[in-house]
């Protein structure tokens, strides 16, 4: 099994490595959720994390911006680096890390504030804008990048929670972009959306890839195949196979990967 991963790594060795997990072990209390996971996240690529429910995809994703810190019983060991710096080192400030590694959640979770405030919140707390006009421009660009601006430009002061599910999710993406992160983590961002909204967001992800590194958890094989360049397949807390999306979907090496993508486990 180890050899499989090695081989996969060779396939992506030409890509700049934005983040890297090495021997990542995570346990919730006595229950271990991840076993020695090694993953390399290439810059300006979309990396998809796939696998059956409960295999630890969200757990791994949360390690990448230390959202696991907020869970009392969660213990993370191993190294995870961002631009070759250990993000779990004591010198690293979580707040700064999360400004560099943004997150979009499974269920759209806009703040119960206006659309403008939702997007402006991140830049405001990080002091990214020098003036009011500056801030407004940031909000507009972020909404444009998230493909939401034309729909909400007349109702910036209306509550973000009043938008449709797909619009809310794009608002959350705009909120994440506004902080100008390097990496955006997305945990099943389309699971609550209809096919049309899903398609909008998939297009969006493809566009965002130019500026950002994206890690996405998804249950849809088609989605992984459509939007991602690299794919990691998790099973029961282990990373079974990791490689380019083409390779994983056309010539999987491990039998379990084969079974999963053809729908025999999961």
Query: Using CB distances below 5 to 8 A depending on partner kind, what does residue 258 bind out of Mg ion, other proteins, ligand ATP, none?
Result: none
Stretch that binds Mg ion, among 21-29, 50-58, 89-97, 121-129 (CB under 5 A): 50-58
Q: Of 58, 114, 180, 213, which one interacts with ligand ATP (CB under 6 A)?
A: 58
Q: Is 28 in the site for ligand ATP (CB under 6 A)?
A: yes
Measured from the CB of residue 51, what is the shortest distance to other proteins in angstroms? 22
Decide: 22 and 79 in contact? Cβ < 8 Å.
yes
- Size of the chain in residues: 266
**Residue 28 site contact among ligand ATP, other proteins, Mg ion, none (CB < 5 to 8 Å, cut-off depends on kind):** ligand ATP
Instruction: Compose the 60-79 pattern: x for residues touching ligand ATP by CB under 6 A, - for all others.
Output: -----------x--------
- Nearer to Mg ion among residue 58 and residue 198 (C-beta): 58
* Half-sphere exposure (Cβ direction) of 160: Cα atoms closer than 13 Å: 25
Residues 97-136 contacting ligand ATP, CB under 6 A: none
**Which residues bind to other proteins, rule: CB under 8 A?**
65, 67, 70, 72, 95-99, 102-105, 107, 109-112, 121-122, 125-126, 159, 161-162, 172, 175-176, 178-179
CA separation for the pair 86, 220 (Å, rounded): 31
Alpha carbons 75 and 71: distance in angstroms, whole number: 9
What, of other proteins, Mg ion, ligand ATP, none, does residue 229 touch, CB below 5 to 8 Å by kind? Answer: none
User: CB neighbours (10 Å) of residue 112?
Assistant: 11
Binding to Mg ion by residue 58, rule CB under 5 A? yes
For ligand ATP, the closer CB: 117 or 188: 188
Alpha carbon separation from 124 to 81, 127, 133, 138, 158 (Å, rounded): 27, 5, 12, 10, 19
2, 3, 53, 130: residue in contact with ligand ATP (rule CB under 6 A):
53
Identify the residue among 8, 48, 55, 82 touching ligand ATP (CB under 6 A). 55
Which residues of the shown chain bind ligand ATP in the complex (CB under 6 A)? 28, 33, 51, 53-59, 71
Which residues of the shown chain bind Mg ion in the complex (CB under 5 A)? 58
């Amino acid at each position: 099994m180890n050899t499989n991963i090695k081989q996969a790594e060779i396939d992506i060795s030409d890509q700049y490595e934005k983040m890297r997990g090495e021997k990542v072990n995570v346990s919730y209390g006595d229950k271990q959720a991840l076993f020695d996971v090694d993953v390399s996240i290439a810059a300006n690529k979309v990396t998809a994390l796939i696998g059956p429910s409960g295999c630890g995809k969200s757990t791994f994703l949360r390690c990448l911006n230390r959202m696991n810190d907020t869970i009392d019983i969660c213990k993370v060991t191993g190294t995870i680096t961002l631009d070759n710096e250990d993000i779990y080192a004591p010198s690293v400030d979580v707040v700064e890390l999360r400004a560099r590694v943004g997150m979009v959640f499974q269920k759209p979770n806009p703040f119960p504030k206006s659309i403008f405030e939702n997007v402006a919140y991140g830049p405001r707390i990080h002091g990214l804008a020098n003036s009011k006009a500056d801030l407004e421009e940031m909000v507009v660009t972020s909404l444009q990048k998230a493909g939401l601006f034309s729909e909400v430009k007349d109702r910036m002061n209306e509550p973000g929670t009043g938008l449709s599910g797909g619009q809310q999710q794009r608002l959350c993406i705009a909120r994440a972009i506004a902080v100008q992160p390097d990496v955006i983590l997305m945990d099943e961002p389309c699971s609550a959306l209809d096919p049309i909204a899903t398609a909008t967001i998939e297009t969006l992800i493809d566009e965002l890839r130019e500026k950002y590194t994206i890690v996405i958890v998804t249950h849809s094989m088609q989605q992984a195949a459509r939007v991602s360049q690299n794919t990691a397949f998790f099973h029961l807390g282990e990373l079974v196979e990791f490689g380019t999306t083409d390779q994983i979907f056309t010539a999987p090496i491990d039998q379990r990967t084969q079974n999963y993508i053809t729908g025999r486990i999961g």
